Structure 1
């Protein structure tokens, strides 16, 4: 597992991106409409993902694995997954909870964009 994103749910992704750009000089890497924005953090390959959300999701890391489906098959009996893997742009996604109840998100890049 490799950390790819720090996930931050925000009430307004555009306003949040402006904050990180103006206060820290971070640059926008990509955008999905005005709902999800990836910000480049200097000195790391990890991207801050600002996602406009209604407040139900929590902040945390998103980790890349070679295959979400394989990971799910291997771990579904020992980890507390919150549903089966789903499609996302460019790959697959799933999430589970650690013993403390924190959400751990995983994704892969198995689909061509």
Structure 2
């Protein structure tokens, strides 16, 4: 399990991008369409993922695992399942809440032919 992103939903991608990139000095790493931008967090391997697809989604850490299905089967009991494993481009994603109510995203890249 590796912390890959801090997921930050936004209703205004341009304004959020201006803050994180232009004011705070984060480096833009990649984009997916017109709604998602990842930025490198200075001094860290973790990135910030700004996403305008669902502005009402919860902010939270996004962890990468080898298999979301395996993670779900082994650990879902300890977490509140918000959304079970579902297919996303390149793999699978599941959403949970910890006992304190923090949203946790878990994804894999099991179907991404380019993933290493």
TM-score (norm 1): 0.87
Mapped partners of 1:26, 1:77: distance in 2: 36
The Cα of 1:54 is off from its aligned counterpart by: 5.0
Comparing 45-54 and 76-85, the one that deviates more: 76-85
Which 4+ stretches in 1 moved above 3 angstroms? none
Residue 83 of structure 2 aligns to a residue whose secondary structure is: coil
User: Any idea what the Cα deviations from partners look like across 1:12-37, whole Å, max 9, x if unmatched?
Assistant: 11321122221122221111112111
Q: CA 1:9 to 1:90, structure 2 compared with 1: closer, same or farther past 3 Å?
A: same
Mapped partners of 1:55, 1:37: distance in 2: 14
The Cα of 1:111 is off from its aligned counterpart by: 1.4
Q: Structure 1 unaligned runs (5+)?
A: none
Alignment coverage as a number of residue pairs: 113
Residue 23 of structure 2 aligns to a residue whose secondary structure is: helix
The question of 1:94 aligning with 2:87 is answered: no
Q: Structure 2 unaligned runs (5+)?
A: none
Q: Are 2:35 and 2:51, in contact at CA under 8 Å, matched by a contact in 1?
A: yes
Spell out the pairing of 1:45-84 with structure 2 (5 A cutoff). Answer: 45-84=45-84
Q: Are 1:14 and 1:34, in contact at CA under 8 Å, matched by a contact in 2?
A: no
The question of 1:107 aligning with 2:107 is answered: yes
Mapped partners of 2:19, 2:106: distance in 1: 27
Q: Are 1:79 and 1:98, in contact at CA under 8 Å, matched by a contact in 2?
A: yes
TM-score (norm 2): 0.85
